[in-house]
């Protein structure tokens, strides 16, 4: 019997690794880091065999020559190792990954992309570093396009979460499965719409996204300078409202936002909330416990952590009409 035993949603920021000593709000940073440790301990206590790791990619594993909406790693998985995050091969639960991909396609639910040699970046390896530290688990990496429009709609992401849940629970070999969604909360990156870059910096960024498949490291120094020069644009009020929805088992209500409205309200980085939504749907929208929320302007991001425990209470599944935007 395969069961889904726990879910975690957590923000990520490589500035935790590269600029910790320059962080001004150390008390906030330490509370967030402590919450990651608590979530890691709860994952360990849940004893998963496999973690479905839902994350984004920041143009270090995918480039504009090919951007699928959803990609499942079904073979090798290599972390790029930028900014002090883990580097090198990661253990993949290949049988479960291929079962998910096959079931989604053959069942006519989703024509997901798959990769037999997937490169991930801190959009997932940050979670490996802090949430899976020391855990003897394999992963099923799921990459969601959140930065190269057109993006998959929020509603489509929720539908995929429910579809993957069905395939996982039907896996005949038996697994204890946890789910981690990495990304968000509110933040704005100095990244252009790749279709309309304006100015030298934006043209440089788009050039790296298009041409960096073989030499993405060559673009990193200037790219980091552009990011570090950006002003923080957080929306703590939105973040609190979103985390309240997660706590109540109502994460599906974020689908009321269009892609454009979400960016206007919470920044282009908030498009990563698709990873939380997918995670919540995989947990059948079980209510969560908020472990931390800290607005971190030094990291350009509202940093949150929540744990979804399906054993803690009866999951909330909204009627189909309620889930309509």
pLDDT of residue 245: 98
DSSP code for 253: G
Number of Cβ atoms within 10 Å of the Cβ of 172: 8
SS3 244: helix
**Can you read off the two tokens belonging to residue 169?**
């629970």
Contact 189, 122 (CB under 8 A): no
Instruction: Quote the CA–CA distance of 276 and 142 in Å, as a whole number.
Output: 12
Domains of the chain: 3-189+234-308 (3.40.830.10), 192-229 (no CATH)
What are residue 180's DSSP bridge partners? 8, 53
Kindly give, in sequence order, each residue whose CB lies less than 8 Å from that of residue 291, ignoring residues fewer than 6 positions away: 35, 38, 39, 305, 306, 307
Question: Tens of pLDDT along the chain (325 residues)?
Answer: 999 999 999 999 999 999 899 899 999 999 999 999 999 999 999 999 999 999 999 998 899 999 999 999 999 999 999 989 999 999 999 999 999 999 999 999 899 999 999 999 999 999 999 999 999 999 999 999 999 999 999 999 999 999 999 999 999 999 999 999 999 999 999 888 999 999 999 999 999 999 988 888 899 889 889 988 888 899 999 999 999 999 999 999 999 999 999 999 999 999 999 999 999 999 999 999 999 999 999 999 999 999 999 998 554 444 333 433 3
Kindly give, in sequence order, each residue whose CB lies less than 8 Å from that of residue 324, ignoring residues fewer than 6 positions away: none
Instruction: Quote the CA–CA distance of 133 and 34 in Å, as a whole number.
Output: 14
Cα radius of gyration rounded to whole Å, the chain? 18
Terminal C-alpha separation, the chain: 35
Instruction: Quote the CA–CA distance of 230 and 241 in Å, as a whole number.
Output: 25
**Can you read off the two tokens belonging to residue 33?**
């880091």
Contact 126, 8 (CB under 8 A): no
Instruction: Quote the CA–CA distance of 65 and 206 in Å, as a whole number.
Output: 11
pLDDT of residue 313: 58
Contact 302, 186 (CB under 8 A): yes
Question: 214 phi and psi, to 5 degrees?
Answer: -95, -15
Q: How far is CA 262 from CA 172, 187, 239, 267, in A?
A: 39, 11, 12, 7
Q: How far is CA 217 from CA 5, 60, 61, 211, 271, in A?
A: 38, 8, 11, 11, 25
Strands 3-10 and 176-182: what pairing?
Answer: parallel
**Can you read off the two tokens belonging to residue 18?**
């590269």
Query: Tokens 């416990």 label which residue?
Result: 289
Closest CA to 269 of 192, 184, 190: 184
Instruction: Quote the CA–CA distance of 323 and 223 in Å, as a whole number.
Output: 38
What does the DSSP assignment read for 80-125? Answer: E-GGG--EEE--B-HHHHHHHHHHHHHTTS---EEEEEEEE-HHHH
Strand (E) or helix (H) holding 130: helix 122-130
pTM for this entry: 0.93
Number of Cβ atoms within 10 Å of the Cβ of 218: 12
């Amino acid at each position: 019997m395969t069961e889904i035993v726990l879910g975690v949603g957590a923000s990520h920021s490589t500035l935790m690794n590269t600029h910790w000593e320059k962080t001004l709000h150390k008390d906030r940073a330490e509370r967030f880091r402590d919450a990651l440790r608590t979530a890691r301990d709860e994952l360990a206590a849940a004893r998963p065999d496999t973690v479905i790791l839902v994350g984004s990619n920041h143009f270090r594993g995918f480039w504009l020559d090919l951007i699928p909406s959803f990609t499942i790693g079904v073979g090798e998985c290599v972390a790029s190792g930028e900014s002090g995050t883990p580097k090198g091969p990661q253990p993949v639960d290949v049988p479960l990954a291929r079962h998910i991909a096959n079931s989604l396609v053959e069942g006519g639910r989703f024509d997901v992309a798959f990769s037999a040699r997937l490169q991930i970046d801190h959009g997932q390896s940050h979670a490996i570093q802090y949430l899976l530290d020391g855990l003897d688990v394999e992963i099923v990496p799921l990459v969601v396009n959140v930065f190269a429009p057109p993006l998959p709609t929020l509603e489509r992401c929720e539908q995929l979460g429910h579809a993957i849940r069905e395939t996982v629970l039907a896996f005949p070999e038996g697994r204890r499965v946890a789910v981690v969604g990495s990304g968000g909360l509110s933040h704005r990156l100095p990244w252009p719409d790749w279709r309309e870059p304006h100015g030298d910096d934006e043209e440089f960024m788009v050039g790296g996204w298009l041409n960096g498949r073989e030499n993405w490291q060559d673009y990193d120094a200037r790219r980091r300078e552009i990011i570090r020069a950006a002003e923080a644009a957080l929306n703590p009020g939105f973040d609190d409202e979103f985390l309240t929805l997660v706590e109540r088992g109502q994460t599906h209500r974020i689908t009321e936002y269009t892609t454009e409205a979400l960016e206007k309200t919470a920044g282009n980085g908030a498009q990563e909330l698709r990873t939380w939504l997918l995670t919540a749907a995989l947990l059948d929208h079980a209510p969560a416990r908020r472990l931390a929320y800290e607005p971190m302007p030094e990291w350009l991001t509202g940093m949150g952590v929540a744990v979804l425990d399906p054993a803690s209470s009866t999951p909330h599944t909204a009627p189909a009409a309620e889930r309509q935007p």
